Homo-oligomer: A and B are copies of this chain.
Amino acid sequence: MDNETQSLEAIINNNLSGRDLDEFNRIYYGRKDNYEIKFKDSSIAAAKDGDFEIAAYAFPAKKEQTRPPRIVKVGIIQHSIAVPTDRPVNEQKKAIFEKVKKIIDVAGSEGVNIICFQELWNMPFAFCTREKQPWCEFAESAEEGPTTRFLKELAVKYAMVIVSSILERDENHAEILWNTAVVISDTGNVIGKHRKNHIPRVGDFNESNYYMEGNTGHPVFATRYGKIAVNICFGRHHVLNWMMFGQNGAEIVFNPSATIAAEAGSEYMWNIEARNAAITNCYFTAAINRVGYEEFPNEFTSADGKPAHKDLGLFYGSSYFTGPDGVRCPGLSRTRDGLLIGVLDLNANRQIKDRRCYYMTQRLDMYVDSLKKVLELDFKPQVVHESDKKEKC
């Protein structure tokens, strides 16, 4: 990873200063001042010791007359796998638990209220291999599996809501697999789960070989700290997925992801999609991507004419928050484990809705009619030809 660029943020901060830096920050992030927040000395020491990055930024709202501020401390964690992928399944999982627990401990000590990890945080992203074994053995019960059990304890210890994206084994339905986000309450109960709605079929991302499109709709989880939802990975390309979480009242939507920098990869889109979702839906978004390289025991191909290979290329991290006004904070690095904390005043959402009127002006009735027509097998797109015009005259 030594050759990898640390981050777009590092390029900017190493080269720009003064007015140029201010103007870049204003045009790119949406504000000159990042509202950076300091960590405790103990957290700084723990991060150094555990070799992970920590950063925190505030997203304040205006003071209101009739509501107190609704300030929530939200953490997102990005990390690489912990031991090689040829080690036994349970050993791989346990090593990730140990490593991530150190980051959760810092989040807990900083008073984080809600935390979310990357997609399938407790395993390597093995779907590139198209092999079923041993990767399917990473699957667990959402409610009772070892990962949920591990997290329940931490949720209670830190009074923290935890969003955990795992490979789910649905034991009540013929033991099939799902890509599932489990939401664990600060009381240690599983509030509910959401299954990934949109499944990729592209390049190394052969996920539709393992699980199907989710059947849980667009649930919003009413936690003690706010209403949250989870748009899992590939769903970030789908504007309707983001939209339905907004219609259901989500205040923060997490996008736990696993996405790579390789050619025709997603990196230049990463800073666009979750941010656009925050803007158009007037809610906070948190985009979280894993980091590092994952080498697998056996060769696989990308279906792009390239030679067989054993890893996907860099998972580029770069996790970040965006506010409902579209202002974002700097992202975590492209290469290191990290904890990013957003101190969010959820009052901002309604303030922005009132100001910009995007929901009020969205003409949903027109679109329901139009999209219903698109679904018809004999749908005729609304195309105007010059000859139509002439014939009409």
Contacts and interface: CB of A to CB of B under 8 A. Distances in A.
A363 B191 contact: no
Contacts of A176: none
B279 A273 contact: yes
Given A268-B30, A362-B238, A11 B20 contact: yes
Interface stretch (A80-88, A130-138, A337-345, A350-358): A350-358
Query: Which among A30, A191, A240 has the highest number of chain B CB atoms within 10 Å?
Result: A240
**In which size bucket is the chain A interface?**
35 or more
A217 B370 contact: yes
Nearest to A326: B269
Interface of A: 5, 8, 11-12, 14-16, 19-20, 23-24, 26-30, 183, 185, 187, 189-192, 197-202, 213, 217-223, 227, 234, 237-240, 242-244, 247-249, 264, 267-269, 271-273, 275-276, 279-280, 325-327, 355-358, 360-368, 370-372, 374-375, 381-386, 389-390
Given A240-B243, A249-B383, 8 more contacts: A8-B24, A8-B27, A191-B384, A218-B382, A219-B383, A234-B361, A244-B367, A272-B326
10 contacts: A8-B28, A26-B268, A221-B383, A221-B384, A237-B356, A238-B363, A249-B381, A269-B279, A272-B275, A364-B375
